[in-house]
Structure 1
Amino acid sequence: MHFDGSSTSTSAGVGIAIQSPDHYRWYFPLKLEFGYTNNQAEYEALIIDLHVLHDLRATHVLVLGDFELVINQLNGVFHCMSCTLAPYHMVATYLAESFERITFKHISRVRNTNADELTQITSGAQLTGGKLGWVTPTVL
């Protein structure tokens, strides 16, 4: 699964792309209703995704994200020292423990384009040449 989160001055959103071992794909663009930092939006995307995977009864999960801070915190490379991120980290760690096997891997933004585009659409960020086929509305 791929995840991404983004926050702008006016909105925040998450993008989730899940692929099954049989290569079925599901895409979830979700708008967040509260004010978030980019770090919080990234964690929200991950937590929502882990809930979805849990509901799908996934047992072995490969989590791919382009936000190095979150991935390294969950892998134990970085310690979560932020008071605002600690609750997110705690929930994500708790959810991760419900899977038989879970791997968190950092990937480049270029390899995370589906989740990134979904996030841009939901957060109101400017979408530049997306590959999913959506067009951002233009205000006249």
Structure 2
Amino acid sequence: MAKVEFKKDPNRGVKEKAYKKIDETKASEPSKTFDLSKFTPEKKEVEKVVEPARQTTMGRPRKNKVYSTIRIQKNTINRINALQNTLEYDTQDDLVASLLDRLENQLENEQRIMFDMYMKTYEARDRKKSK
């Protein structure tokens, strides 16, 4: 089998590429800088007075209450929020508790017995976990 020889083009790669010259980027200076001498404690106190005190009831749990998380679909959450606002309940917890109370009152005798048994079981389990 004959050897194949490749011959390079003599004009290829001889020329150096002419790169575009890039000018040096000068650092810009801010139009305003912080001056500690102009910042007085009086201004700091004025800023504190201007801030209104936020009164939020959400965030922290109520005293002597234990909270847990349940998984609910987004559309159900929207329904709960709409009912809460329509019926003017303060929290979702108040709304859900009210609706559950109404359902409990509608239970028949056999359902009431089963409900009481389940409640005793869950309460005993919670007491056991909390110890």
**Greater helix proportion:** 2
User: What range describes the TM-score normalised by the shorter chain of this pair?
Assistant: under 0.3
Normalization by structure 2: what TM-score? 0.23
> Higher relative contact order by CA 8 Å / sep ≥ 6: 1 or 2?
1
Query: Could you say which structure has the larger radius of gyration?
Result: 2
